[in-house]
């Protein structure tokens, strides 16, 4: 018997009188058809398995691409927020700088037009205003909840007290020394004339 996939197998083998060679040929044909079907099934299973792997790989690639796109969007949003915050801080710094510049311009104008009756008082007020501005600027840089802030305030209070005492002492020394220096200068001039 020739082997073909569509060959019909007799249904009532027991009733037919088949010879042993015919039965063996029929068994070989059936076995070959079974082997062909199994190999076709295995080939289809391999194709299905490869297709499933390709689909899974494509799905995984799509998920990874989607996650990367979401991460990029989040990063871009964070960068935009950070850029806006930096821009706001820059605007604040520019505004503060403009205020300080205007304050110094106002201060210079006030000094230029102020009558100078007490030059030491004017100098002291100018120096104290500048130092006060510096202290205010430095204090603004310290966070309000910092443990360093009370120590900073105490140190500034101590420096103000020491400064006031130094000014009073210097003024008293100046007032005490001025007549003596003038008197000494007169004596030196008279001694120089005698010689």
Mean pLDDT of the region 48-66: 85
Mean pLDDT of the region 132-154: 90
Q: State if pTM tops 0.85.
A: no
List the domain boundaries for the chain: 1-81, 114-195
Give the pair of three-digit tokens for residue 79: 């960068």
Q: Please determine, for residue 9, whether its predicted confidence score (pLDDT) is greater than 70.
A: no
Mean pLDDT of the region 119-129: 79
Top-ranked range on mean pLDDT: pick from 12-21, 101-110, 119-128, 157-166: 157-166
Share of residues in the chain with pLDDT > 90 (%): 22
- Per-residue pLDDT reduced to its tens digit, 151-176: 999 999 998 899 889 989 988 998 99
Q: Please determine, for residue 35, whether its predicted confidence score (pLDDT) is greater than 70.
A: yes
């Amino acid at each position: 018997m020739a082997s073909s996939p569509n060959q019909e197998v007799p249904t009532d083998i027991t009733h037919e009188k088949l010879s042993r060679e015919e039965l063996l040929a029929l068994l070989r044909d059936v076995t070959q058809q079974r082997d062909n079907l199994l190999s076709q099934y295995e080939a289809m299973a391999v194709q299905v398995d490869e297709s499933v792997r390709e689909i899974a790989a494509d799905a995984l690639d799509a998920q990874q691409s989607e996650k990367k796109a979401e991460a990029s969007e989040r990063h871009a949003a964070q960068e935009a927020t950070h850029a806006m915050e930096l821009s706001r801080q820059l605007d604040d710094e520019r505004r503060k700088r403009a205020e300080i510049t205007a304050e110094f311009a106002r201060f210079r104008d006030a000094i230029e037009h102020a009558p100078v009756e007490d030059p030491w008082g004017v100098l002291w007020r100018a120096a104290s205003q500048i130092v006060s501005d510096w202290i205010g600027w430095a204090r603004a840089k310290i966070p309000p909840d910092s443990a360093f802030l009370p120590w900073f305030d105490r140190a500034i209070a101590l420096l103000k007290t020491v400064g006031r005492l130094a000014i009073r002492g210097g003024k008293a020394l100046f007032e005490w020394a001025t007549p003596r220096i003038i008197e000494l200068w007169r004596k030196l001039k008279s001694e120089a004339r005698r010689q």
